[in-house]
């Protein structure tokens, strides 16, 4: 096992630990100490003098196999590339379906999750989609979560004209399935709820928490910054103990970092807010002549908005990075993610003093160095197939 020793780093875990050395072995953090010296031959030293070291970022809502287009087949978006994620500091990603569960399938989503894992990222997925009953790989969302390691929750949609118009009782059935699967497997489990722009907004979710006494942390609403009235309800939900997820690359009434600052002014704790990109979703923007042009939602807006929280919003480095590290890790019950600590996964982002991302380590491997992406080598195992007693290699 090759050891890596990161020297002279200003470490934010995300709380500030001071100038430390980090020892990495395999995929995990083995030690965090002052001025370490390792007397072994096989150790790679990385000098992080003058750099901030923070946990790798978690993006809990990405259309990793692309999204179904809003404007017919030609508007479908492509798959995400591992380099796109690494270049914006994302070392952990959660893939999911959108409106399209016919041409975009959970089976294809699973294959892409496995591919990203092979390329060195931590990748997970949600079962379900906009449909009801939820689409699944096995017989149900419950069985998906129990039998497929990579499936850590279920997605559904409300208050959207493209959704299945689920009733409160149907939402409770999905919540029950996710909860039972979560406690059975130890995954935690999350019901991730897409919110559209209809006037029903979060009414159903707030009713479940306030009147049906469903714990708010069992529900994970996203796109809460789509409209201002929706965001006002999200603030109420956060004060009830829920986690609210702001989309940085999708539809929004204001820049996400400004939405965070407003929520903080209204008494919401920074510990109840997350960012996700909605990356690769199919988007349309109106032109001045009345036409529109199509584009895919970017995956790099999470990091840009986190930095804006620091430079423009005056938040501490610790608080700003919570929305992309420990908060989504808590929301998703990813116990090895979101922190720099002994025993945690060795996912790191290294920034210079101007908050330019220079280096990224994912599960202990250097994936970007001095701004240059490093493609992970994939070992090809060539096995012989015997044809008429003669081994033929493919």
- DSSP state letters, 29-74: EEEEESS-----SSEEEEE-TT-EEEEPEEEEEE-TT----SSSGG
Which residues on neighbouring strands pair with residue 286, listed in sequence order?
Answer: 292
Contact 14, 58 (CB under 8 A): no
Query: Residue 134 is inside which H or E element, if any?
Result: none
Contact 137, 110 (CB under 8 A): yes
Structure tokens at 390: 């003669």
Contact 362, 91 (CB under 8 A): yes
Contact 202, 159 (CB under 8 A): yes
57-332 placed in CATH 3.40.50.300: no
Q: Residue holding tokens 């990748």?
A: 123
List, by residue range, all CATH 2.30.40.10 domains of the chain. Answer: 3-54+338-373
Q: Name which of 5, 2, 11 is nearest 350 in CA terms.
A: 11
Contact 239, 206 (CB under 8 A): no
Instruction: Supply the pLDDT for residue 40.
Output: 72
List, by residue range, all CATH 3.20.20.140 domains of the chain. Answer: 57-332
Distance CA(92)–CA(122), nearest Å, equals 5
One CATH from 2.30.40.10, 3.40.190.10, 2.40.30.10, 3.30.300.30 for 3-54+338-373 = 2.30.40.10
pLDDT in tens, the chain (394 residues): 679 999 999 999 999 999 999 999 999 999 999 999 887 778 899 999 999 999 999 999 999 999 876 677 877 889 999 999 999 999 999 999 999 999 999 999 999 999 999 999 999 999 999 999 999 999 999 999 999 999 999 999 999 999 999 999 999 999 999 999 999 999 998 999 999 999 999 999 999 999 999 999 999 999 999 999 999 999 999 999 999 999 999 889 999 999 999 999 999 999 999 999 999 988 767 666 665 667 788 999 999 999 999 999 999 999 999 999 999 999 999 999 999 999 999 999 999 999 999 999 999 999 999 999 998 876 644 445 444 444 444 4
Which residue in 278, 300, 359, 365 is the catalytic one?
278
Q: Residue holding tokens 């699967």?
A: 181
Catalytic (active site) residue 278: yes
Instruction: Supply the pLDDT for residue 76.
Output: 83
pTM assigned to the model? 0.93
φ, ψ for residue 43, nearest 5 deg: -135, 135
- Count CA atoms within 13 Å of residue 253 on its CB side: 15
């Amino acid at each position: 096992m090759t050891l890596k020793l990161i020297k002279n780093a200003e470490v934010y875990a995300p709380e500030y630990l001071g100038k430390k050395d980090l020892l990495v072995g395999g995929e995990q953090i083995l030690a965090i100490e002052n001025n370490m010296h390792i007397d072994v031959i096989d150790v790679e030293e990385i000098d992080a003098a003058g750099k901030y070291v923070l946990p790798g970022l978690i993006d809990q809502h990405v259309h990793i196999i692309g999204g179904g287009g809003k404007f017919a087949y030609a508007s479908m978006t492509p798959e995400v590339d591992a380099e796109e994620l690494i270049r914006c500091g994302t070392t952990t990603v959660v893939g999911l379906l959108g409106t399209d569960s016919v041409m975009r399938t959970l089976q294809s989503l699973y294959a892409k999750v496995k591919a990203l894992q092979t390329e060195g990222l931590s990748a997970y997925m949600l079962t379900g989609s906009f449909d009801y009953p939820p689409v699944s790989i096995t017989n149900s969302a419950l069985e998906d979560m129990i039998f497929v390691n990579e499936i850590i929750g279920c997605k559904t949609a409300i208050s959207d004209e493209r959704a299945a118009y689920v009733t409160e009782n149907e939402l409770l059935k999905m919540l029950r399935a996710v909860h039972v699967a979560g406690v059975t497997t130890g995954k935690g489990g999350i019901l991730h709820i897409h919110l559209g722009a209809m006037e029903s907004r979060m009414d159903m979710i707030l009713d479940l928490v306030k009147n049906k006494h469903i714990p708010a942390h069992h529900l994970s609403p996203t796109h809460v910054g789509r409209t201002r009235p929706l965001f006002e309800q999200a603030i109420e939900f956060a004060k009830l103990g829920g986690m609210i997820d702001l989309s940085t690359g999708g539809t929004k009434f204001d820049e996400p970092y400004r939405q965070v600052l407003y929520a903080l002014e209204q008494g919401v704790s920074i510990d109840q807010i997350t960012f996700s990109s909605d990356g690769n979703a199919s988007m349309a923007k109106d032109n001045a002549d009345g036409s529109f042009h199509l584009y895919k939602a970017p995956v790099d807006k999470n990091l840009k908005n986190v930095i804006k929280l620091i430079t423009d919003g005056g938040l501490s480095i610790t608080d700003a990075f919570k929305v992309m590290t420990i908060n989504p890790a808590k929301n998703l019950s990813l116990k090895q993610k979101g922190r720099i600590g002994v025993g945690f996964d060795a996912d790191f982002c290294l920034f210079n003093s101007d908050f330019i991302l220079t280096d990224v380590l994912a599960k202990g491997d250097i994936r970007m160095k001095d701004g240059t992406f490093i493609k992970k080598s994939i070992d090809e195992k060539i096995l012989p197939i015997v044809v008429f007693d003669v081994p033929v290699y493919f």
